[in-house]
Structure 1
């Protein structure tokens, strides 16, 4: 399951969501530079980092600092919430009521039993989107904020030797539909199919 990902400020925007405008691109680049190339990790009780999330706002794409993982009663959920299985959303499409896209240049998984970290990315540090579902939550300080969970599906065949799951990738042509269409089993099925096509271009490299 996706436990960390990256957003390199040197990204190219070849694969960026068709709806993203120059302001969104610049906002992502500024955030990534300020983050100094640090790997993005879930926000927890003792870690308060808000990550950029892309949501639909007035028929356009908007960038919003958001909390990775769900908040319940003012604290991080006690159940696993940073990832959501695509199979669960296929069975219960109501879980797709509110959705977002996580901008990334690569995600990281540990290969077992060797315990070697690997990065999964497109060529040329291309920026791509990972599917997410969202809900509102209240921080320990009482602030209401958008929380997100990355949608995970079975890994593409050429990636299974490294990890059996991978994020659902949202290609540009599906951006608007993923963010705005009514929740349904068909929407999740379409996203998984489109993700499989984009996943063929994902390459893997060992991390020191």
Structure 2
């Protein structure tokens, strides 16, 4: 059984290190302190990097430096659907990939050690009723390029994945589970 991963908690990424791929556990989300937060407050995880912000000061270095790009393996990702207080999980997987890869960025942090975030784009029309954004799912033949190519080539990989190749599984599973069982938030399988 696959383990669910939540923002602010450990997940698995694949990255390049000294010419070889390594599988590593990192915290999901870049830690950030919002204005007005107490110095003793725990940072908030920024778990997604929007495609239109990749060249902004917050993301540019991590996106432009190939060694700070990673692959985030997943079997499915969840989105919340339904009215507030009654939201359920809708799982989305890649039809022909039992384990797919989401384009990611990683960096070291003082707060959590190594951490990662996933790159997002606008959702396809077919999925827009579920959520307005979707992960950048990479085709298997794009994995090497994402990890190694210059930023001007990597940006071409940041695009919508064809909805015809995605499987949507709407469930009755509650979006928010009781705190005693699991942390709240988006999940990956």
- The TM-score range, normalised by the shorter chain, is 0.7 to 0.9
Q: Secondary structure at the match of 1:56?
A: strand
Quick check: 1:51 aligned with 2:1?
A: no
Name whichever structure is richer in helix by fraction.
1
CA distance in structure 2 between the aligned counterparts of 1:110 and 1:196, rounded to whole angstroms: 19
Please say if 1:187 is aligned against 2:154: yes
Cα RMSD (Å) = 2.6
Q: CA deviation at 1:50?
A: 2.0
Whole-Å Cα distance in 2 between the matches of residues 161 and 206 of structure 1? 12
Q: Does the 8 Å contact 1:107/1:120 carry over to 2?
A: yes
Task: Encode CA deviations 1:94-141: one digit per residue, 9 max, x unaligned.
Answer: 44022111000000001243623200012366110001111111246x
User: How many residues are matched?
Assistant: 159
- TM-score normalised by length of structure 2: 0.73
Once the two structures are superposed, residues 170-208 of structure 1 have per-residue CA deviations (whole angstroms, 9 ceiling, x without a partner) of 111111111112223x422x1124x434x4301111123
TM-score (norm 1): 0.67
Aligned to 1:126, what secondary structure does the other structure show?
Answer: coil
Give structure 2 stretches of 5+ with no counterpart: 34-39, 173-189
Aligned to 1:135: 107
Give the secondary-structure state (helix, strand or coil) at the position aligned to 2:150.
coil
The residue that corresponds to 1:104 in the other structure is 74
Unpaired stretches in structure 1, ≥5 consecutive residues: 1-35, 44-48
Retained in 2: the 8 A contact 1:50–1:67? yes
The one-character-per-residue Cα deviations of 1:66-102 (angstroms, maximum 9, x if unpaired) are: 1101236998534x51111011115664440221110
The structure richer in strand per residue is 2
Q: Could you tell me which residue of structure 1 aligns to residue 185 of structure 2?
A: none
CA distance in 1, matches of 2:13, 2:2: 17
Query: Residue 75 of structure 1 contacts residue 139 of structure 1 at CA under 8 Å; is this kept in 2?
Result: no
